[in-house]
Chain A
Amino acid sequence: MALLDIRNVTRRFGALAAVDKVSIAIEAGEFFTLLGPSGCGKTTLLRMIAGFDLPDAGEILLDGRDMAGIPPERRPIHTVFQSYALFPHMTVSQNIAFPLKMAGKTPDEVRGKVREALELVHLEEKGAHLPHELSGGQKQRVALARSLVNRPRVLLLDEPLGALDAKLREEMQIELISLQRDVGVTFVFVTHAQTEALALSHRIAVMNAGRVEQLDEPSKIYGLPANRFVADFIGNCNMLDADVVEASPNGLRLNVKGLGEMTAPPREGARSGDRGVLALRPEQVRIVAPDSHQDLKNHFTGRVHDFLYGGDVTTYIVELPNGTRIEALLPNSAPGRATFFEVGDAVRVAWRHDAGNFLRD
């Protein structure tokens, strides 16, 4: 039995269904992420799990028990808020002691657990400080310690890294993973940042317009996107309009608009005549000089339209003669790599016969 079972949950605001018949089963000990653009319903779903909002239809079960009618303060579920929501008039220790006092723990127990929690987040020295004396990362850690100190069944995290700068965010991601492993509490993490979701999660539910578009492991979400939305939202993707000419268990033959026939990996449910797109990740597209030897089956010549130098990699936007633009990623560490392509250079782009995914419309 799943620890947290969300069954057919719907929440409407007027005519709009913010959450639309969502069913998700989250297992104990999992680091689960709800990923989607703002307004996709992920925060509404989180508030319903916490108890601040109630579903119009469907049910939320924790350990098999229906949570309907149980107010937030009586749910063994805690939340780390985006703004941390530390109590400004209480010291770090008093903040962490708050849930313990509310649970009626004895002063001795409170002292011991607060000390443990401070150690857990490496803030032993900061117990007597007030929140406004802390840095962003330290506040974040206090919020985590406070939410974890009495070991909830589920910890909800509402875009907790959103307010941190890029460098600190990366550090906190690593801390979050080890923290979750150490305490073994189930994390439900809400974010719109796809790299964060891919880096942290055991499983991800990609949400859009109140529905779950795909629910899977990060590598599957990235490598085998279920549809156009997921492919487009997670990472960058070239989308080439295509029809299926022939479908077989060994692969697909596609007619890509303006480029002609080519092969693609097999896709369950794809039939000849289907319309859709060939979704191709930029790192799957190789970019070489036009006269160099080319052993890949799918290859086309074009010109560099523009490029973005990213340090570790450079993203080239190559325009093909028919006007199609394809993004290709070139690692700057590639062996023998001495020259950069410039805007206007003639180049050749190529990809393996089994690269990309056909996504039906």
Chain B
Amino acid sequence: MIKPRAETITRWLVSGPPFAFLLIFFALPSLIMVVASFRYPGEFGGLAPLAAGKPDEEAGLTVENYRIFFGDWIYFQILAKSFGVALLTTLVCLLMAYPLALLIARSPRRHRDLMVLLVVLPFASNFLVRVYAWMIILGDQSIFLRPFNYVLAKFGGEPLSLLFSGFAVIVGMVYVHLPFMILPLYTNLEKHDPVLLDAAQDLGANAWNRFWRVTFPLSLPGVFSGAALVFIPVLGMFAIPEILGGKDDWMVGNMIKEAFLGTRDWPFGSMLSIMLTLAVLAVAGLAAWLAKKGTARA
């Protein structure tokens, strides 16, 4: 079929600007970063010139950054740890978000909008303010922790300290990202046809089987999009580990930030960014492959 000319023009007019935007502000910078990761750092930050001005000056292209990365376990460990934190955050978010999303989806229609509003309400205040609030909640002077430590001391226990720990990082990560899990889950669960649950019950399924064999499998697309919306931002997050974590709780995001703003080694930071991107792509590819295998078998 030959498309009418006007339709083709309209299509380009509509999709052109966002396409151009992504090309200029996403594809091009990514490419610049790939190139930068193969270059030498400039003397005071930035990049060294491609052609050497003096004979002993470092210039041109090098694989030195990648040699450093693969030459020391520490980078791999931090990357792996970041994946661990992201995975744990995603799981905790899923376990907390699912019952809530189900509750909202099964509430009377007139209450749902209000409940969704409450879920997104934290976004009305600044991200950093909310994370700092957790410093107060988890801090040693916290009104939650002090009575607990007081009782603990009565029994001769060491006082518990929560702030600047992996635990505090996970708490902060879960708190910040929970709405990103609730919303896609709710959107999915809300669309389920209630008659399917009636049918399952009619055919002999108890409450557990109705959930596990009908509701949950049908909600998997929501679970996957929620998981992606939590997992990927957590992986690159640096603010929360920096504010709530200790020095041992550094994630790959902190290393990248440090490379650019601390040591001012742009090529090294670029290399870390690229390794992170490749790792995410590898995980996403694996997940897609597993999902495809799963549906092919079912």
Q: B111 at interface (Cβ–Cβ under 8 A)?
A: no
Interface residues of B (CB under 8 A from A): 193, 195-196, 198-206, 209, 213-214, 217-218, 298
A360 to B199 CA separation, bound complex (whole angstroms): 44
Q: B202, A102: Cβ atoms under 8 Å?
A: no
A290 to B85 CA separation, bound complex (whole angstroms): 96
Q: A99 at interface (Cβ–Cβ under 8 A)?
A: yes
Q: A81, B198: Cβ atoms under 8 Å?
A: yes
A88 to B209 CA separation, bound complex (whole angstroms): 16
Q: A78, B217: Cβ atoms under 8 Å?
A: no
Count how many chain A residues have C-beta atoms less than 8 Å from C-beta atoms of the other chain.
24
Q: B206, A88: Cβ atoms under 8 Å?
A: no
Within 8 A of B (CB), among A237-258: none
A156 shortest CB reach to chain B, Å = 9
Describe B's contact surface by its main secondary structure: helix
Q: B214, A73: Cβ atoms under 8 Å?
A: no
Q: B201, A78: Cβ atoms under 8 Å?
A: no
A250 shortest CB reach to chain B, Å = 53
Query: What residues of chain A lie closer than 8 Å to B298, measured between beta carbons?
Result: 89, 91
Q: A177 at interface (Cβ–Cβ under 8 A)?
A: no
Interface residues of A (CB under 8 A from B): 50, 52, 71-74, 77-79, 81, 83, 85-89, 91, 98-99, 102-103, 146-147, 150
A86 to B214 CA separation, bound complex (whole angstroms): 11
Pick from A73, A89, A99, A146: contact of B218, CB under 8 Å:
A89
Task: Name 23 interchain pairs, CB-CB below 8 A, sorted by A.
Answer: A52-B198, A52-B201, A71-B201, A73-B203, A73-B204, A79-B198, A81-B195, A83-B193, A85-B193, A85-B198, A85-B199, A86-B199, A87-B214, A89-B218, A89-B298, A91-B298, A98-B205, A98-B213, A99-B204, A102-B203, A102-B209, A147-B203, A150-B204
Contact (A50, B202) CB under 8 Å given A85-B195, A89-B218: yes
Pick from A71, A89, A98: contact of B203, CB under 8 Å:
A98
Q: A81, B217: Cβ atoms under 8 Å?
A: no
A157 shortest CB reach to chain B, Å = 12
6 A-B pairs with least C-beta separation: A102-B204, A85-B199, A99-B203, A85-B195, A79-B202, A72-B201
A275 shortest CB reach to chain B, Å = 47
Q: A73, B206: Cβ atoms under 8 Å?
A: yes
Q: B199, A81: Cβ atoms under 8 Å?
A: yes
Query: What residues of chain A lie closer than 8 Å to B198, measured between beta carbons?
Result: 52, 72, 79, 81, 85
A77 shortest CB reach to chain B, Å = 8
Query: What residues of chain B lie closer than 8 Å to A77, measured between beta carbons?
Result: 202
A135 to B214 CA separation, bound complex (whole angstroms): 22
Q: B203, A78: Cβ atoms under 8 Å?
A: yes
Query: What residues of chain A lie closer than 8 Å to B214, measured between beta carbons?
Result: 87
Query: What residues of chain A lie closer than 8 Å to B213, measured between beta carbons?
Result: 98
Query: What residues of chain B lie closer than 8 Å to A98, measured between beta carbons?
Result: 200, 203, 205, 213
